[in-house]
Chains A and B, each alone.
Chain A
Amino acid sequence: AQTVTQSQPEMSVQEAETVTLSCTYDTSESDYYLFWYKQPPSRQMILVIRQEAYKQQNATENRFSVNFQKAAKSFSLKISDSQLGDAAMYFCAYRSLTGTASKLTFGTGTRLQVTL
Chain B
Amino acid sequence: KAGVTQTPRYLIKTRGQQVTLSCSPISGHRSVSWYQQTPGQGLQFLFEYFSETQRNKGNFPGRFSGRQFSNSRSEMNVSTLELGDSALYLCASGQGGGETQYFGPGTRLLVL
Contacts and interface: CB of A to CB of B under 8 A. Distances in A.
B90 A50 contact: no
B38 to A, nearest CB: 12
Contacts of B92: 45, 104
Contact of B102 (A47, A91, A100): A47
Given A35-B100, A47-B100, A95-B98, A105 B45 contact: yes
A101 B88 contact: no
A102 B96 contact: yes
Residue with the highest number of chain A CB atoms closer than 10 Å, among B56, B88, B101: B101
B48 A42 contact: no
Interface of B is mostly: strand
Give the size category of A's interface with B. Answer: 20 to 34
B90 A45 contact: yes
Interface residues of B, number: 28
Contacts, number: 64
Interface string A91-116: 10001110011111110110000000
A102 B103 contact: no
A90 to B, nearest CB: 12
Contact of B105 (A37, A42, A100): A42
A103 B33 contact: yes
A100 B45 contact: no
A72 to B, nearest CB: 22
Given A50-B100, A97-B98, A108-B42, A102 B55 contact: yes
A47 B103 CA distance: 8
A86 B79 CA distance: 38
Contact of B94 (A42, A102, A105): A102
A108 B37 CA distance: 11
Given A43-B88, A44-B106, A103-B56, A33 B45 contact: no
Given A33-B98, A43-B88, A45-B90, A102 B105 contact: no
Interface of A: 31-33, 35, 37, 42-47, 50, 91, 95-97, 100-106, 108-109
